Chains A and B, each alone.
Chain A
Amino acid sequence: MKLVPDTNADKRIDPATKRLVRTGVETVLNPFDEYAIEAALQLKEKLADGSTVTIVSMAPETGKEIVRKALAMGADNAVMLSDPAFAGSDVWGTAYALAAGIRKTGFDLVLTGTQSTDAITGELPGALAELLGVPGITYARTLAFSDGRIRVQRETETGYQAVSAPLPVLVSITKSAAEPRYPSLKGIMGAKKKELVLLRLADLELTAAVGGDGAKVELIELAAPPARGKGRVVAAADGAAGAKAIVDFLKERKLL
């Protein structure tokens, strides 16, 4: 899971530093990842065979309390990849370090969200599956395990595919899967005692560079998009008048 700026905040770029203004913007758990956590917890509860749910997150140590929220939801333990050396990692570097952390932890099934609300590249699940060397099933809206295979309904643009694969496998979970639960008071109290391991760069024994040095892309420029000003406002007395105002406008713009 990833920590992101609060989605409800109107984000701003500081014109001088060209960086995101983080002051006054709360950091939260990426909302897309909450669906994956919920799916993991439901599967664990259904299996009731001693399976455990581990949260893995690459985030600065200051994000600990947010990771604890996932533990409060019911996950068993957490692993945080926290090291200043990870800063500036691109999709490849993030997937590479996460794969190392997940391998070290051990896994049968890796669940992710489908994207993050800040970067929205949607490229991490595929890259992570590849670097873990396991099959990847993306955009799952249901999740079940039977006869040794993970079975999901994978959303397509016009419907779904019923897909299955043996373990180990990576599955990305969509928001249609299940509404994430709120942590109970008991969960919140219990989360404080759950194990939260911090892994540093050295713990991962990586062979390639991560962070800004290892990135495969380089930011050259940040520019403001062309501004969108306030347009025309027309009050419509009735349906015909409102429709005519729009049709005239579309003709003016050569859209009709």
Chain B
Amino acid sequence: MRNVIAFIEHKNGQARRVSLEAASTARAVADLLGGTAHAVIVGGDAATIAQQLQTYPLDAIHILADAGAEKLIDPAVDALTSVAQAAGPSLILVGNTMIGRDVGSRFAARVGAGVNADVIEIVVDGGRVACLSPKLGGLTITTCAFKSDYGVAAIRPNVFAAKQAAGAAQIVAIAPSGKAYAVTVEEEVEEAAAELGVEEASVVVSGGRGMGGPEPFKTILRDLADALGGAVGASRAAVDAGWISHGHQVGQTGKTISPQLYIAVGISGAIQHKVGMRTAETIVAINKDGGVPIGEFADLLVVGDAFTIVPELAKQVRDAKAVHA
């Protein structure tokens, strides 16, 4: 494979952060391969998103400006396939997200491409592309090389840099497939405020069993997350108790994340949870019990009452930020 194609997810007229990371990485890997870097955008806003992508050093941005196509998987797979086949053997970068995995896996099955999921590093050795991914909850890191002409790498959000640089990407229209799609989206419902998910946030404040109920997730944890510009996460115990929705769950049956800062409040840190957050750069835990397992791998464990520490912390963080501003 010589060329690299980034599949761009977007919503409300904005490209997703992980997609910008994919665009920037596409350039970096294409340079190592001596090939070209591309982006593929589908949906009614494709032209607007393409303009945003022009601040990244790509060679071509392919758009399918078809309203509603961004809601379905099939049009994206068709668009990606047509661009990939025109480009020749190439590496496809998608986000390791719900949509990225769907589009990537279907594309891969269609063209017989290898797939590497949850990729944290891409290496090129003698023209061969290999991906590093944590497996078994970060217990081991595998390096897997592609044996196929095409390859798909689903990159973990927040790990690759999104470097803007002057580029002269051409915007190219993708010919519509002309297919009628069997899946119909009848309604799209927003249940949560448009906030950054735990996978993409650089700071995550999570609550566990020690929160005792749903209230702290809406009040003190949310407030601390807001002060730090982050997202609210939760342990399985909190989600199973119905205190917060499953989308916020960090851990083995939830999401695996790598934020810069992870603050675990009232979470013991059992293996179930640990595998979802142990690759955070910095881990801070607040717990009333000094003997909890999280103390064995947190960078800082503060033993005390979360209900007084968390609000005070939000205040002190705001004060510290005000000094800088």
Contacts and interface: CB of A to CB of B under 8 A. Distances in A.
Interface of A: 7-8, 10-13, 18, 20, 31-32, 90-92, 95-96, 117-131, 135-139, 155-166, 169, 174-176, 215-225, 228-247, 249-251, 253, 255-256
B301 interface: yes
A163 B182 contact: no
A127 B252 CA distance: 22
A162 B253 contact: no
B93 interface: no
A197 to B, nearest CB: 25
A56 B188 CA distance: 32
Interface stretch (B28-36, B50-58, B162-170, B290-298): B290-298
30 contacts: A7-B272, A8-B272, A10-B271, A11-B139, A32-B253, A91-B115, A92-B115, A117-B252, A117-B253, A121-B154, A123-B101, A130-B109, A156-B98, A157-B98, A161-B189, A162-B185, A163-B184, A164-B183, A216-B112, A216-B115, A217-B145, A217-B148, A223-B141, A230-B296, A234-B301, A237-B304, A239-B304, A243-B309, A250-B317, A253-B299
B187 to A, nearest CB: 4
Give the interface residue-count category, chain B.
35 or more
Nearest to B189: A159
A239 B309 contact: yes
Contacts of B110: 130
A77 B186 CA distance: 34
A130 to B, nearest CB: 4
B177 interface: no
A165 B182 contact: yes
Nearest to A221: B143
B146 interface: yes
A92 B184 contact: no
B284 interface: yes
A169 to B, nearest CB: 7
Contacts of A241: 304
A91 B141 CA distance: 18
Contact of A216 (B98, B140, B146): B146
Contacts of B109: 92, 95-96, 126-128, 130-131
B238 interface: no
A161 B187 contact: yes
Contacts of A126: 73, 101-106, 109
Contacts of A174: 246
B141 A224 contact: yes
Contacts of A18: 140
B311 interface: yes
Interface in B131-189: 134-148, 151, 154, 181-189
B209 interface: no
B168 to A, nearest CB: 33
B248 to A, nearest CB: 11
Given A117-B252, A159-B188, A246 B114 contact: no
A255 B106 contact: no
Interface string B178-212: 00011111111111111101000000000000000
Contact of B182 (A90, A119, A135): A135
Given A163-B185, A235-B304, A8 B271 contact: yes
Contact of A238 (B191, B282, B304): B304
A31 B304 contact: no
Contact of B303 (A90, A231, A235, A255): A235
B44 to A, nearest CB: 16
B232 interface: no
